Chains A and B, each alone.
Chain A
Amino acid sequence: MDWTLLTVQLLNGLQFGILLFLLASGLTLIFGIMDFVNLAHGSLYMVGAFFCATLTQWLDSFWLGLLLALPATAVVGILVELIVVRHLYERDHLDHVLATFGLILVFDTLTQMIWGPDGQVIPLPAWLDGQISLGDAIEVPTYRVAIILIGLAVAFGLFILVTQTRLGMQIRAGASNRKMVSALGVNIGLLFSIVFVIGAVLAGLAGMMIGPITEASIGMGNQIIIVAFVVIVIGGIGSIKGAFIAAILVGLIDIMGRSYLDVLFKMFMSAQNAETSAPAVSAMLIYILMAVILAVRPSGLFGPRGR
């Protein structure tokens, strides 16, 4: 067994899970409190990455770029909420899905108009670009560790925000009974906007952090958003805790499946069969996981019962 590879893959899985959590937490908050399905969440992920790429190239500093791209993404989130999303809260899910699908087209095309069809590279500072050695002979990329640490810090901050602050209390109350909260004098419209922008910034942050690894490209959000949906469905829609656990689970299973499923298959089938079937099965693994979990618990692991 190759322990270096195993460690690296575990870290990759963890890092993928953290990214998924950043996306999924926003989705699940927005859905939980506003009952709003936001397909365009992946577009904010893409916008974040492109902002970070341009700012990093201008300022010649990844961290400055990252710091400035966050408010820029927030502004985009505010605009989207003001112009389109706000008018949809009272509508049904079908309208949400269609309108945000339209938003995706708008974002993808605008990005192409501004940045052109090619991907944008986000250069990393030298000290992040290397490897860290863990024990003897096991080296892992520094930047992936950094992503995990930042992600965990954000997750912790979000947890504190939701469970310990007044805003978090309002968010939780809004999620369980919107009318009651507004009757008690909370400005529910403002609360919605704040939650939407928090979600937008989290999605943008995820895009900024993946940017240096994959580069910012058009439509980059359209694939990962589906996985983020799988995460919030598994975790139970509206639950931050569920989103975190499901995100790590899905991240690990996806990455480990891609690297080790053929080894597993070779134990009980011919090498050739294993090599042809393993990629297909590993690509479907998280969906199979979702199907199994939903077959047992239709509202997800931590979903509200009877909604």
Chain B
Amino acid sequence: MKSLTLRGWVTLIGLVVLALLPVFINRQLPLTILQQWPWLGGHFDFVTFLTGQEFYLVLATRLVILAIAAVSLNLILGYGRMISFGHAAYLGIGAYAVGIPAYYEIYNGFIHIGIAVVVSAAFAFLTGLVCLRTRGVNFIMITMAFSMMVFFAFVSIEEYGGDDGLVIEVRSEFGQWVNLENDTVLYYVCFVSLLGILYLIRRIVHSRFGMVIQGARGNEGRMQSLGFDTFRYRLVCYVIAGALCGYAGALLGNFTSFISPEMMDWTRSGELIFMVVLGGTSSLFGPVLGASLFILLEEILSGFWLYWQLIFGIFLILVVLFAKGGIDSWLGRRPER
């Protein structure tokens, strides 16, 4: 077996921790098994620390869902250099794709996910047709403006709660096998989704399609003169990222059980970008690390100071000024170009 780099180890440990987290939290069977091994159960304070703390499961679920959103954003932002400042709109669309059918007492999860993915993809396609014609700062502002358009649309639709949001009382139903009402099951659905999407992104990035996207990031003119219609490639990439984030939104809707337009405010999109950049752009696992650090910092800081956002903002500025390449580069990855 190939020896792992530091990054590889962090990735592996991160995934293992995420995979086993509910086992630590849930007091039942697995823990008693652990305790029969004194060399682990006896010394591992982490276990006793987490035991019975449902709160950490909630935190971890949010972390995993936002990691999916960050990973999907990284597909366009990192690999394609399309700096979308409106990615939170897809989270909102996905969440409302759960909330609005539930409002009409349709609880079938396959319908929810289907609507979330299809509507997100359609929105990405339509806005992409306009956005991708522009470059640079125009692209940033237009994606932001389109997400605000969705934001204001939901604010002004009184039927679905408008500004006040919508309460989802029943989570999506997926037949008898998967019961999302159980928090641990919901967590594992999110975690497996994250793994699946990471695999999907890996396949996309290493495919011919992904190569064209990355080639166009470096030098679009060159790709065009090689005969690639980069606009189409970009559009497809943009739609895939939107659809994946819509899926994450559907999970988020199930998780929070209260959705409001506030979740697609442009500052939310800014937070998603921060997660990606913090972790390291155009690396597969970087956004997951970024989302993790973001959520943990937010949780820790907000716990001990009312004005924690001040520290958060200063941290963000410092990361931009002094830590190019994010966590990934701290772990020994060479920054690009």
Residues in A lying within 8 Å of B, measured CB to CB: 31, 35, 37, 39, 84, 87-88, 91, 93-95, 97-99, 101-106, 108-110, 112-113, 222, 226, 229-230, 232-233, 237, 276, 279-280, 282-284, 287-288, 290-291, 294-295, 298-300
**Contact of B145 with A98 in the complex, beta carbons under 8 Å:** no
On whether A37 and B145 interact (CB within 8 A), knowing A98-B273, A280-B157, the answer reads no
Of B140, B315, B321, which contacts A97 at CB under 8 A?
B140
Is B314's CB within 8 Å of the partner chain A?
yes
Give the CA-CA distance A87 to B148 in the complex, in Å. 30
Kindly list chain B residues whose C-beta atoms are within 8 Å of the C-beta of A298. Answer: 133-134, 138
Judge if B297 is at the interface, Cβ distance under 8 Å.
Answer: no
B222 to chain A, nearest CB (A): 18
Across-interface contacts of B307 in A (CB, < 8 A): 109, 112-113
**A94 vs B140: C-alpha distance when bound (angstroms):** 9
A290-B142 in contact given A93-B137, A97-B85 (Cβ < 8 Å): yes
Whose C-beta in chain A lies nearest to the C-beta of B322? A87
Q: How many residues on chain B are close to A (CB under 8 Å)?
A: 44
A229 surroundings in chain B (CB, below 8 A): 141, 144-145
Which of chain B's residues have a CB closer than 8 A to the CB of A98? Answer: 270, 273-274, 277, 316, 319-320
Give A65 Cβ to nearest chain B Cβ, in Å. Answer: 26
Q: Which of A104, A226, A295 has the most CB of B within 10 A?
A: A226
Q: How far does the alpha carbon of A288 sit from the alpha carbon of B142 in the complex, in Å? A: 11
Q: Are A295 and B320 in contact (CB under 8 A)?
A: no
Chain B residues whose C-beta falls within 8 Å of the C-beta of A226 in the assembled complex: 144-145, 148, 266
In the assembled complex, B159 has its CB within 8 A of some CB on chain A: yes
Q: A39: which B residues are within 8 A, CB to CB? A: 270
Which residue of B has the minimal Cβ distance to A284? B149
Q: Which positions in B face A, CB cutoff 8 Å?
A: 77, 83, 85, 127, 129-130, 133-134, 136-138, 140-142, 144-146, 148-149, 152-153, 155-159, 266-267, 270, 273-274, 277, 307, 309-310, 312-317, 319-321
Separation of A274 and B272 alpha carbons in the complex (Å): 36
CB pair A37–B140 under 8 Å, yes or no, is yes
Q: Would you list the 4 A-B pairs with minimal beta carbon distance, nearest first?
A: A105-B313, A102-B316, A283-B152, A106-B313
Using known A-B contacts A110-B310, A284-B152, A287-B146, determine if residue A102 contacts B141 with beta carbons closer than 8 Å. Answer: no
Contacts of B148 in A (CB 8 A): 226, 287
Nearest CB of B to A251, in Å: 16
A211 → chain B closest CB, angstroms: 22
Q: From known contacts A31-B137, A295-B133, infer whether A94 and B142 are also in contact, taking CB-CB under 8 Å.
A: no
Would you give 7 A-B contacts (Cβ < 8 Å), ordered by A? A37-B140, A94-B277, A98-B320, A105-B310, A109-B313, A280-B157, A294-B134
Bound Cα distance from A31 to B140, whole angstroms: 13
Pairwise interchain contact B138-A299, C-beta atoms closer than 8 A = yes
Complex CA distance for A183 and B152, rounded to whole angstroms: 47
Q: A250 CB to closest chain B CB, in angstroms?
A: 11
Instruction: Give chain B residues whose Cβ lies under 8 Å from the Cβ of A97.
Output: 83, 85, 140, 270, 273
Query: Is A101 a contact partner of B274 (Cβ separation < 8 A)?
Result: yes
CB distance from B328 to the nearest CB of A (A): 15
Known: A291-B130, A298-B138, A299-B138. A94 touches B159 (CB 8 A): no
Contact A93 B136 (CB under 8 A): yes
In the complex, what residues of B have CB within 8 A of residue A233's CB?
138, 141-142, 145
Set of chain B residues within 8 Å of A37, measured between Cβ atoms: 137, 140
4 A-B pairs besides A279-B158, A287-B152 with CB distance below 8 A are A88-B321, A97-B270, A98-B320, A112-B307
Expressed in whole angstroms, the Cα–Cα distance for A283 and B162 within the complex equals: 12
> Which chain B positions have C-beta within 8 A of A299?
134, 138
- Give the distance in Å from the alpha carbon of A267 to the alpha carbon of B158 in the complex: 22
Whether the pair A99, B321 counts as a contact (CB closer than 8 A) is yes
Residues from chain A with Cβ under 8 Å of B153 in the complex: 280, 283-284
B130 touches A294 (CB 8 A): yes
- A31: chain B residues at CB < 8 Å are 137
